[in-house]
Every structure is written in C-alpha cells, then in structure tokens.
Amino acid sequence: MAVSFSHISIPFQESSIARSISLLPYAANNFHLLGGSPFVLYGGAGNFCWRFHDLKRPILKRPNIQQRNRKHVPINELISIRNQNNDQSENPSRNLANDEQFSEAASTMFPNDSTEEQTRATSHRKKSSMPNSQPGILEKARTSLESPSSFVRTHSSNLSVDDHHRGPSLSIAVIGATGELARKKIFPALFALYYSGFLPENIGIFGYSRKNLTDEDLRSLIASTLTCRIDHQQNCGDKMDAFLSRTYYLNGGYDNKEGMSKLNALMEQIEGGYRANRIFYLSVPQEALLDVASSLADNAQTKKGWNRIIIEKPFGFDALSSQQFTKSLLSKFKEKQIYRIDHLLGRNLIENLTVLRFSNLVFEPLWSRTYIRNVQVILSEDMSMQIGRYFDGYGVIRDIVHSHMLQTIALLAMEPPISLDGEDIRNEKVKVLRSIRKLELSDVILGQYKATSADKLNVSLCSLTPTFFAAALYIDNARWDGVPFLIKAGVGLIKHRAFYNAIKTYRVEIRIQFNRVPGNLYRECIGHNTDLATNELILRDVPDEAILVKINNKIPGLGLQLDASELNLLYKDKYNVEVPDSYEHLLLDVMDGDNHLFLRSDELAAAWSILTPVLQEVDQNNIAPELYELGGRGPVGAYYLWAKHGVRWADD
C-alpha cells in the first residue's frame, strides 16, 4: 500500500491511516480503502485521486478545479512534498512551497520514513514584506566591503522573518542583466510566466551586472519591456508591480569571485534561510563565460536545493575549443545541471515534430527511405538591427547551423525513444548526429549578403564571414540510407511580411518530399514535370505557422485534370491563442528539469565533429563566400547543389 504526492509513492500501513486521515479535512469523508488492493493517492491539495489497477477515480471533486492532461501546470496548483538532496542534485519536479497541513499529515502517516525522504512543507503565504521593510540593509549588502559571511552575521539580527512569511522557493539570477538579450527577452519571458501562474508568487528575481544601479533603476529599465497576455489581461498592473517588487539588483564589479559571493549573500538574505532552488542565466559574452561560470560554481550555489545554469550559444568556436570549455564546465557542474539554450529550439514547430510523428499512425510508417525522397530544413533570418561584432566573429555556421539546424535534423530523423524523458530523447538524437556522413566541401555552399548603405545595416563584416550556408547531409543508417537532408540557413534572405522577434525575425520551414508513385496511372494527366506531383509534408513557423500536406486532386468539372492541392492546418485560424515566446517555453523546461531541447555534451561534440573539418578547410584555403543580394533567395550555387542531389528547390 502506498501514498503518492506529485509523482512520489510512499508506502504506509493501513493502521496508520485512521489516526492520520483527520488531518486531511477535505478528503476525510471520501477516503476509502479496499483490503488487499493496490492503492495509491495522488494529486494536489485541491484534487486527490486514487489509482486501482490502472484505473483512476476522483476522491474529491471541486467545481472549479479541472484535472489537466498537459505537460505544464500553473505553479500555484501544484503541491509538491518531494524532498531533494542538499548537494546540488537534480529533481525534474519543481520544488515549491507546500501546505503545512499536508506535511503534518505526512509525518504522522509515514513515521518510518528516513531523514532523506522526509518532506519539508510550508504554506503558500501572503506576499512577504521583508524586501521592502529593510531597504537600507539590502543596500549595505551591495556596497559593504565586508565579506559576505561577516555581512550576514552583522545584519542578521535586523532581518527578522515573520512567522506568517517566508522567502522564495525559487530564485532566478540573470547574469548580464543590463544587456539587450536580458532586457528584451529574458525578463519579459519571466514576467509572462509569472503572470500566467507558472512561477511561484514569492519568486526572487536577481539582476547582476557591472553597472552601478539600484533596484529601482533595474525595475525602470525592464518595466517598459513587460507586457501582459493579449488573451487575458486581468490585474495586469498589479501583477507587474508584484513582479517588479520581487526583482533585485547587484553590482558585481569586475571581480567575479567577490561578486558571486555578494550575490549568494543577497540571495540567502532574500530567501530567509528557507529551502530554495536556484537558476542562473548566464547572458554574458563568450569570452567571459568560463570565468563567470567557475566563480558562480564556487561561490553562489545553494546547498538547500538544486542549482541549474543556462548557457547561451554559440557553444565554442570549433571542436577543440568546445571540448576544452565543456571539460571546464563539467569540473564545476554535473551534466544534469547544465542547460545549453538555443531559443530557436523553443519554437512550437520544433516541439511539434515528435508529436506529429509519434502520435499519428498516418506518418510513422512512412518515416524512412522507403517512402521519403528528401528532407529540407530552411531557415531565413531578416535583420531588424545591426549585426555587430558577435556575428562577425562566429558567422552563420557557428551561430545557427551547429545548434539549431543539426538539432532539427536529429529530432526529425531519430528512432523512437523508449520514453519522453529528456535523457531518452537525447540518447536517440546523439545517435543520429554520430551517423551523419563526413561532410565534403563540395557539398557545401557559402554566401555573404551584399548590403548597401540604403539597407541601414552594418556592412563592416569580415570579408570571409559567411552569412549563408547550404549543405547536403546523409545519415548512414538503415532508416535513412541514401536520403539527402538539405539544409539552408541565411541572413537577409527573402523579406518577410511581419517581424516576429524584437531583435531578429526568423522563419523556419521543414519540407519532407515523398517518393513518386511507382507506375502512376495518372502520369499522362500530370505532365512531364513529375516533381510537381510529389506529395509533401510542409511545416512552417511563425508568422504563418501551419502544417500542410500536398496531395494530387482532380479538378471539379468534365474531363480529367489533376491539380496539386494543399490540405492545411493554419494555427491562427484553428487556435485563437497567443503563441508564447520561445524563451518562455525553454525557461519553463529548465524549471521542470525537462532537458530534451537542450544540448548534452556528447551531442555538442558530435555536432562539432560534422562541421569542424569543413570550417578548417575553409579557413586554411581562404575560401571566399559567394555574394548575394540582400532580400533575395541566396547564392546561385545553392540551386546547383540541390540539383546535384536530385532535389527541386523548395522556393520554386
């Protein structure tokens, strides 16, 4: 016999139920046992269910609580009493504040639990007044020259925490808080999650940079970038004020070790000594990343919950630099703590790849070389700002192809994982990457846009920095032998109708072309161009997100004329909802411990092994990229590459 709270089953004796059930007042009148039957309790405080031989029955039904069958559930509806190790160990479930009443019940019902499995439970309280009640003390934390430990000893007597309040159960620190990425994407994504109920009410948000700012300065800096959901804007102003009141700033200075120690002291102070998990988003330049990560690992990790770090791409400059960087990271963090983020992988299109394939019988049997002729992954990027030093140093290959394009192919081509667990999916992805045939330079086209002053873009790129990359990849395994995977990624390609990203506009399209019908009875009605009659599955990203299936159809009327038509699912017509930003999706995955869209170290190494030989050959031979017009279709050489592998250009 067992009781399960938020995915944790705990064995107990039936004799212990009688004296404990009174502590569960809402369920007391609906709690029944069947002698000798497999029995578990599960659910949150508002909705308990029991499971009997794979069947679920509600124990308590509340009129305003709906059982959700979805991946993410708003944070305030979850009651988690899952204990976590104190040594940075990871927990896929969120470790949030719990109801004290259930903790008391659990301690009575489970008297034989070990210390490691005892639950720590505290109630969701009213908003804490601590941050605003001692403003002078917080300023001393940032400016004092004392060591963090002596600061805490000196001022701890002034920081009394009322019995009716507690610190945040989750703290998120944004390192590089005054940068453009943090202001325009990270903080707005955090607020969107907070507004929608996916973050705890008492969360602590910490901004860290080298600028001499105050809490109010940071709040004013990010306030203009925060927006509420279009589809529900109740209490928008109140939510925004509450979020900003939980945002704090620390000037870390130029000594990262000292700065991280001060950050740790500030976070511990706001957390009030309670158990809290920490996420660190490293939005810093690549050259500073290793020092920041090392200082953070040694001085800012909590010992009262899990710690996770988020690292932005690019992940190295080539295979060697990436390997050295990974080795340094793994000397300070466990692999399960590291989340290498690529915001393009947070798009709904990418998440829908596995859903479309593995949950629809109509597609899965066709997903092989037997029926698929080629696969095309196309990404076009329209710049609405200057490119600058970052892109000039890394180029489109290191910035986009290495992560997004290869990860998309891995998700498309992988074998079915044994489960939806992140590690199981990553295991299958890395197999695909390791199976990709060595890429020859003859199967690669490099390009660079030819900008003018009228384009209002930074044209001071290095003369050999590619802004366009096209290649033909082959996966040498039984499923995909002989099927070309053609990728095309370019900056300044065909201008789009709308801007989606506040910084850049990305448009992704995946086209899966099927083989011709053997012995087609209607070949005379199709004409000489049989490619036009090829069935296709087309997946398009925002702003016109859609799933299209191209089929051959008879035109109504007398006679027999065929037409290639599209069965289409347009998201904006079908779903009247606002599409969350990709950063919201990925940040929520980090909090959940879902890492399937984040690169693991072996995936990283496998991707670099594909591209590094080509990069070295390009650099050694000073191969100049082919020029193309800004707003055009890319270099002409890409047309010939597609034709070489028997593929019709998708834009035709």
In whole angstroms, give the CA distance from residue 249 to residue 202.
17
The order of strands in the sheet holding 170-175 is 247-251, 204-209, 170-175, 277-282, 307-312, 338-341
In whole angstroms, give the CA distance from residue 41 to residue 18.
15
In whole angstroms, give the CA distance from residue 136 to residue 128.
17
Query: In terms of pLDDT, which residue wins out, 90 or 179?
Result: 179
Checking if the pLDDT of 58 tops 80, the result is no
In whole angstroms, give the CA distance from residue 398 to residue 395.
6
Q: Are 445 and 469 in contact (CB under 8 A)?
A: yes
Per-residue pLDDT, 455:
55
Q: Which two tokens stand for residue 116?
A: 């490691």
Hey, how many other C-beta atoms are within 10 angstroms of the C-beta on 577? Answer: 11
pLDDT band at 358 (very low <50, low <70, confident <90, very high): very high
User: Which percentage of the chain shows pLDDT scores above 70?
Assistant: 66
Per-residue pLDDT of 553-577, as tens digits, reads 888 888 887 878 889 888 888 888 8
Of the CA atoms within 13 Å of residue 646, those in its CB half-sphere come to 10
Per-residue pLDDT, 166:
62
Q: Are 635 and 445 in contact (CB under 8 A)?
A: yes
Checking if the pLDDT of 324 tops 50, the result is yes
Checking if the pLDDT of 64 tops 70, the result is no
Could you give all domains of the chain from N- to C-terminal order, each with its CATH number? 170-312 (3.40.50.720), 348-452+459-580+600-645 (3.30.360.10)
Of the CA atoms within 13 Å of residue 565, those in its CB half-sphere come to 9
Per-residue pLDDT, 333:
96
In whole angstroms, give the CA distance from residue 335 to residue 263.
23
The answer for 557, left when phi > 0, alpha when psi is -120 to 50, beta otherwise, is left
Query: Which of 124, 404, 585, 596 is labelled catalytic?
Result: 404
pTM here is 0.74
Highest mean pLDDT (candidates 10-14, 188-192, 516-520): 188-192
What is the DSSP code (8-state) at residue 314? P
H or E stretch covering 148 = helix 148-155
Q: Which residue has the tokens 């489960």?
A: 419
Indicate the pairing of strand 546-554 with strand 468-474: unpaired
| Phi, psi angle pair for 394, to nearest 5° | -110, -35
Per-residue pLDDT, 488:
93
Window from 388-402, 470-484, 531-545, 610-624 with minimum mean pLDDT: 388-402
Residue 405, burial from CB neighbour count under 10 angstroms (0-12, 13-18, 19+):
buried
Q: Which two tokens stand for residue 113?
A: 């639990």
| Average pLDDT score over residue span 531-552 | 85
Q: Which two tokens stand for residue 93?
A: 């479930």
Per-residue pLDDT of 516-538, as tens digits, reads 888 777 777 766 566 667 899 99
Checking if the pLDDT of 633 tops 70, the result is yes
Query: In terms of pLDDT, which residue wins out, 393 or 620?
Result: 620
Is 404 assigned a catalytic role?
yes
Distances (CA, A) of 477 to 113, 333, 353, 474, 638: 49, 34, 20, 9, 26
